[in-house]
Amino acid sequence: MGRQLELTPRLACIAGWVPQGARIADVGTDHAYLPVWLTLHGRVASAIASDLRPGPLDRARETGRRFGVEGRISFRLGNGLQAVGPEDCDTVVIAGMGGENIAMILSRAPWTADGEHTLLLQPQSRAEVLRAFLQDHGCAIVREALVLDRGHLYPVMEVKAGRMSLTPGQRLGGAKLLRDPLGDRYLMEKILQRQSAVAGLNRSADRADRDRADRLREEITALYIMREEWRHANCPGN
């Protein structure tokens, strides 16, 4: 890599949502591409790059060194937001982790729902767990978008303190994705994953498996309702 740092579409979407002049904390930074890019492009007033493990944090420092901004970023070792305080930042980014892990990190730092912070969240999996957590912990998804990156769809969420009331379909299929051009594909992927799981569980004689299949069938119905709403919103006349 030369002096040019190119972000992947997923990280580029998040970078585009960081307010100009923000004081960011990037939790689970790994290579620190996001804080390094934002610092290089004069987009942030300050940046913290934090990670759970020393290996990724060394990689983060190395990226900072390579692009000449190591001294302008604070590198911190810690679990979740353990090494970051509410006064250190106004924007928290947590990307590239499972939805359950992101929810766990936020639950241990209740100040993230104090109304003073913007959260930019990008779950790799189990986004529905994260959406449910946010709803139950005084947070509202104010913007959501899907990004196609190397063949995979990733939801990106902007979250603020507030209230929201999600239908089962919105919890599973997105709080603010009704107008997203990739919404139909996202919903179909979720439906197909569940249909395939149900097909496997149907072969089981185990009671717990049959209960799980029932829950998945309910989710499929909720997702089909969402898909109808998406089609209604995007393909009027169909």
Ligand X SMILES: C[S@@+](CC[C@H](N)C(=O)[O-])C[C@H]1O[C@@H](n2cnc3c(N)ncnc32)[C@H](O)[C@@H]1O
Q: How far is CA 10 from CA 80, 124, 144, in A?
A: 21, 11, 13
Q: Which positions touch ligand X (CB under 6 A)? A: 11, 27-30, 51-53, 56, 79-80, 95-97, 101, 105
Nearest distance from C-beta of residue 127 to ligand X, angstroms = 14
> Which CB sits closer to ligand X, 11 or 175?
11
In the numeric block, which tokens belong to residue 142?
A: 């104010």
Which of 90, 143, 98, 91 lies closest to 122 in space, CA to CA? 98
CA within 13 Å, CB half, 5: 22
> Which CB sits closer to ligand X, 94 or 222?
94
Q: Which amino acid is at 204?
A: S
> Which CB sits closer to ligand X, 28 or 169?
28
Nearest distance from C-beta of residue 11 to ligand X, angstroms = 6
d(CA 226, CA 224): 5
Taking each helix axis as running N to C, give the angle between helix 54-66 and helix 33-40, from 0 to 180 degrees, rounded to the nearest 10: 20
Nearest distance from C-beta of residue 148 to ligand X, angstroms = 15
> Which CB sits closer to ligand X, 43 or 227?
43
> Which CB sits closer to ligand X, 52 or 223?
52
> Which CB sits closer to ligand X, 38 or 95?
95
d(CA 24, CA 78): 16
Nearest distance from C-beta of residue 8 to ligand X, angstroms = 7
d(CA 46, CA 4): 21
Residue where the block lists tokens 């709803």 = 135
Nearest distance from C-beta of residue 79 to ligand X, angstroms = 5
Nearest distance from C-beta of residue 39 to ligand X, angstroms = 15
Environment class of 236 (CB within 10 Å of its CB; exposed 0-12, middle 13-18, buried 19+)? exposed
* C-beta of residue 159 within 8 angstroms of C-beta of residue 140: yes
